[in-house]
Structure 1
């Protein structure tokens, strides 16, 4: 189908008409609704503009040739030479190979073969639908598309013809891949061997690059096609591989994709001893969604790096596998990388210190202001302790991951052995130490509050919620904002408590007190009577005793 048929125009339409018609058709063929139709329309538009550009140069050349012909001095030429010049510019419609060879021989003999070559080239450009036989004859005859073609040849026309020849080869193979027609692709590939100009080094490089892109962009991978193309093109892993190096590695990855997927699925079933095991278990594991959520919160930077690598491999070579993953994509878990894993422990510390201080110190007669000071100081101290404890224990637990999982499975009942709700080293040990420390300082109620807080957050985290929806809404910015807001609210509440408590406190030299103390409050601090602490007689004079 020619570009003019796609655009619905005749070949004599001008550039302005072509652009207007393209704008009208573009409104009817949207890229999102019909990508193939849009691409076909775009190719036709560009081809039509290229043709008009060539036609403009052709008209200029014709004017120049006309001027040359008019200025030709035929007086010194023989009748045979004049006939050869006329034969070189004669129309080429319907000519066979024998007639073309005869004209070429005559024009070469009379020294005007270059004029005949220009005529052939312009005819191939102007009549692409009916001149394929002429193109196939002219390319090897005049050494087009090679380093031996005539230097003064019209480069715009020859480039346009080269693009058409390339598209003539690519379209059948691409259409066969889209139709998932293996035999059709192999037949189209075999026909490419009929084009001798592909043996030229520059064109061979383009052909190899084009084939590699076709195979990599194919929606379905066919090992038979790859093996046939690899053998035909001489692709290999040795030095001098005609296939581009980066694309060769990607082709091998797609070829070995079934073996790669089988290995990753096997790693997902093994204990998570390495980053590869943990990435495979997270992306391809058979455990419940809540268990994989718990695993995601335990991963470190090197684990997430392996997850990103595995996700890219799956996205490129296994789209069907990605469709069955949470969220329908291999990158579902990417937003968990910046999750704040330890924030429930800090919430537990704040609640334990607050409730423990009230239950432990109020019976001892501690005033509210002193109680608030105890809560603030103890919260900071225990917060620093739990931060250091989490950092130390988590690093150790991450190094002995298999031991941690084994101990966790031993302590859990049968139904939870496959996905333990806690880890002995990473969760139970630091939790037990913090419970013991809070119980020793504030009493068992504080330790119980801390344990209950962690258990509550653990149960909520393991809740199976929307496994097919990406976790993007709980981004790190929201978590940081909530954390800062919680700290600000806590500081405001403690400040309000302190202000309220200070309103009922009677400080030194306030209120009804003995005369001597009130007298000293008005005298300088250097006064002898007021330099020593008040005695019993000063506080309670003889007249005040019974």
Structure 2
């Protein structure tokens, strides 16, 4: 980086513009806030002034460009010019130093520098020692390099040198070879151009992102890089702030996992415990699903944070989770688990209405109205009871688990088939209400429905995620079961509708509409008034 780049000026700026620009930048770069930036600005300012002073002193002595005009040159000068332009292929550092000394003596060092720059660009694999020599001699890649150097060429060479030191580091991590990485890192410390502040910042950013993006992690590598780059938790940390937080989290990953596994084994008293148990618990998949039905928004927030940490820093742990991902639960957060309550309410109201009101002689229309109204009323009551009891059970989670464990002593403390506060109390209240309105059959139907659904939910299923393809025969079977249930309900309605109705031989229709509607008026059977046997041929007489 040249002094003109630091100052934000072009090389043809005059002394007055340099001083004004320096004064403006000095307001933005204070020595007590950014000592290195201030020193870099000061050095660029002095270098620009020195260059302008030198240009002013030699302005009158400049002649037209005749660098390749050998007229008037001595043999020694011609030889020095030829040495400066000769190919550097196969040249050792000692020979390069001799050629440089001769070029400086004869005033053509800039020609040798341009020749060396072109050689390094064309031979990136073998020119590393020459580049290091040029960094010391010509101050390449710094604010003190010669201004007349081609800027594109020097940037291209810088990219090549960066690739030279970063490729071995990446390849070593890809091979999960910690020894090779440390060896390549030690060799990168020999690059003198990395001592410049701008290049040191770039190297710190590269190393931090390389360690974060690699699947392979080694604490020894991280500790060695921290020692070499000056990374620490203090105020003068050279590692980028955001990357440092993620690096420390990954460095502390074994301790983090141990802490989360310990939380998963402890009683789920807090949201952190419940999130750890959902993701890292040792229970079966159905037990995780049952736990998810009890979680609330705060619990899901901790699940999101824990899943993100596992996804970022613990790919091996994620591979052991259901579906091979830390977000296997993502659809559970959106699903509501109260649907068995409403199914039980509908069935209880339907069956209870038929068994209770049909013997009383109620007609079908009135029966349907009772079923619909009672379903809505009891559904709203069930929703309110569930909300109150579930909030109470979530607030007193451990109490609910202790009561459930005492009621179901054969099960684990948090694996009881039904909870006292969250299941049994709301079920008992709904059974009492349905029994009072419809009779005991409705209460039994409601309790049996919830019990069946609860037992089915506890079955051992193969862990899967929502985005995986489910079993097609299961879908077909459930669809057929729904169709059969619908047919049964319609059949019940048909039977109920036929109760108490008349057939074609009953009622008070005129005789002609009953028997003689298709016979001529002169027919013997239709000429005389109908007798009781004709009116009621097959029915019992009143």
TM-score tier by shorter-chain length is: 0.7 to 0.9
User: 1:453 is matched with which residue: 442, 445, 449?
Assistant: 449
Q: Distance in 2 between matches of 1:250 and 1:169?
A: 24
User: 1:470 is matched with which residue: 461, 465, 468?
Assistant: 465
More helix by share: 1
Q: Residue 381 of structure 1: CA displacement?
A: 0.6
Q: Secondary structure at 2:371's aligned position in 1?
A: helix
Q: Secondary structure at 2:329's aligned position in 1?
A: helix
User: 2:280 is matched with which residue: 277, 284, 288?
Assistant: 284
Q: Residue 293 of structure 1: CA displacement?
A: 1.2
In structure 2, the partner of 1:167 is 163
User: 1:185 is matched with which residue: 181, 185, 203?
Assistant: 181
1:121 and 2:122 are equivalent in the alignment: no
User: 1:398 is matched with which residue: 394, 399, 422?
Assistant: 394
Q: Secondary structure at 2:360's aligned position in 1?
A: coil
In structure 1, the partner of 2:94 is 98
In structure 2, the partner of 1:336 is 332
Contact 2:120 2:130 in 1 (8 A): yes
1:297 and 2:289 are equivalent in the alignment: no
Contact 1:293 1:462 in 2 (8 A): no
In structure 2, the partner of 1:529 is none
1:133 and 2:125 are equivalent in the alignment: no
1:431 and 2:427 are equivalent in the alignment: yes
Q: Distance in 1 between matches of 2:129 and 2:219?
A: 35
1:72-471 maps to which residues of 2 (within 5 A)? 72-75=68-71, 77-467=73-463, 469-471=464-466
Larger Cα Rg: Structure 1 or Structure 2?
Answer: 2
CA gap 1:80/1:474 in 2 versus in 1, 3 angstroms: closer
Contact 2:318 2:324 in 1 (8 A): yes
**TM superposition score normalised by structure 2:** 0.73
Contact 1:287 1:418 in 2 (8 A): no
**TM superposition score normalised by structure 1:** 0.73
CA gap 1:203/1:341 in 2 versus in 1, 3 angstroms: same
Q: Residue 219 of structure 1: CA displacement?
A: 2.4
Contact 1:408 1:423 in 2 (8 A): yes
Q: Distance in 1 between matches of 2:468 and 2:138?
A: 65
Q: Residue 189 of structure 1: CA displacement?
A: 1.6
- Unaligned stretches of 5+ residues in structure 1: 1-67, 514-546
Contact 2:132 2:192 in 1 (8 A): no
CA gap 1:113/1:359 in 2 versus in 1, 3 angstroms: same
Q: Residue 242 of structure 1: CA displacement?
A: 0.5
Q: Distance in 2 between matches of 1:230 and 1:71?
A: 51
Q: Distance in 2 between matches of 1:206 and 1:248?
A: 15
Contact 2:271 2:299 in 1 (8 A): yes
Q: Secondary structure at 2:381's aligned position in 1?
A: helix
Q: Distance in 2 between matches of 1:153 and 1:389?
A: 82
Contact 1:335 1:472 in 2 (8 A): no
Q: Distance in 2 between matches of 1:472 and 1:389?
A: 33
Contact 1:235 1:241 in 2 (8 A): yes
1:501-533 CA-partner distances (Å, limit 9, x unpaired): 599999xxxx979xxxxxxxxxxxxxxxxxxxx
Q: Residue 70 of structure 1: CA displacement?
A: 8.1
Q: Residue 108 of structure 1: CA displacement?
A: 2.8
1:382-426 CA-partner distances (Å, limit 9, x unpaired): 111111111222122111111111111111132344511121111
Q: Residue 178 of structure 1: CA displacement?
A: 2.8
- Unaligned stretches of 5+ residues in structure 2: 1-63, 510-542
Q: Residue 291 of structure 1: CA displacement?
A: 1.3
Q: Residue 347 of structure 1: CA displacement?
A: 0.7
Q: Residue 88 of structure 1: CA displacement?
A: 2.0
Contact 2:100 2:112 in 1 (8 A): yes
Q: Distance in 2 between matches of 1:411 and 1:474?
A: 38
Q: Distance in 1 between matches of 2:170 and 2:244?
A: 19
Aligned residues: 433
Contact 1:393 1:425 in 2 (8 A): yes
CA gap 1:71/1:239 in 2 versus in 1, 3 angstroms: closer
Q: Secondary structure at 2:144's aligned position in 1?
A: coil
1:429-487 CA-partner distances (Å, limit 9, x unpaired): 111111111111101100111111111111111111112x2233699xxx9xx99xx9x
In structure 1, the partner of 2:14 is none
